[in-house]
């Protein structure tokens, strides 16, 4: 089976559709949150495919042909949290809620997102340290480490930029305007 057909399955399609719908409905004040979710999703997809094509997590597989669940497990809760943030941002702009409620949900989103990302980093380390077969398939461990490092750095940058976008009044602002 080639790599392109192994990358596409129903679960990944549904998750991609769900995340895409949420990302396309983001207001500009939550752009950094969306970038963060996109990086989290990409890293989870990368690890999901890697786990499926390697024997390093074989003891976690539940049945033949089933996905590892890494993508769905890592992305579902942060996506729901950012959906709630979108609702609260709209309610705040209409003066229906207080700023503290929006700030509280923002902190919950970052805690959830960081927890999910921490689990992904742990799984990445487990896969990296797993014994390699005698004749590995056409896989380059240096490129795997490079992609993992890129995801980790991008995630950290989106977190820092998002926290830096909060103005002195506590209102979230677009990270694009803060950077320029």
β partners of residue 172: 166
Mean pLDDT of 142-166: 76
Pick the most confident of 36-45, 63-72, 150-159: 36-45
pLDDT classification of 178: cutoffs 50, 70, 90: very low
Tokens standing for 8? 């596409």
Say what the pLDDT of residue 174 is: 53
Is 90 exceeded by the pLDDT of residue 77? Answer: yes
Mean pLDDT of 30-44: 90
How confident is the prediction for the chain on average, in pLDDT? 78
Whose tokens are 């590892």? That residue is: 68
Please give the Cα distance from 167 to 29 (Å, whole number): 11
Say what the pLDDT of residue 25 is: 92
Is 60 exceeded by the pLDDT of residue 93? Answer: yes
Please give the Cα distance from 155 to 78 (Å, whole number): 13
Tokens standing for 103? 């700030």
pLDDT classification of 88: cutoffs 50, 70, 90: very high
């Amino acid at each position: 089976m080639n790599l392109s057909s192994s990358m596409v399955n129903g679960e990944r399609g549904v998750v991609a559709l769900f995340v895409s719908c949420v990302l396309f409905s983001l207001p500009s004040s939550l752009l950094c949150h969306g970038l963060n979710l996109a990086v989290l999703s990409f890293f989870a997809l990368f690890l999901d495919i890697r786990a499926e094509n390697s024997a390093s997590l074989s003891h976690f597989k539940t049945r033949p042909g089933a996905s590892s669940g890494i993508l769905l497990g890592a992305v579902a809760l942060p996506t729901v949290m950012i959906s709630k943030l979108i609702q609260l941002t709209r309610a705040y702009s209409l003066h229906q809620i207080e700023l503290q409620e929006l700030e509280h949900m923002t902190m919950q989103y970052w805690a959830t997102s960081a927890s999910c990302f921490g689990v992904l980093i742990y799984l990445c380390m487990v896969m990296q340290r797993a014994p390699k077969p005698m004749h590995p398939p056409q896989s380059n461990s240096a490129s795997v480490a490079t992609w993992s490092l890129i995801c980790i750095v991008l995630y950290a940058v989106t977190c820092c930029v998002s926290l830096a976008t909060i103005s002195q009044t506590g209102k979230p602002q677009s990270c694009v305007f803060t950077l320029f």
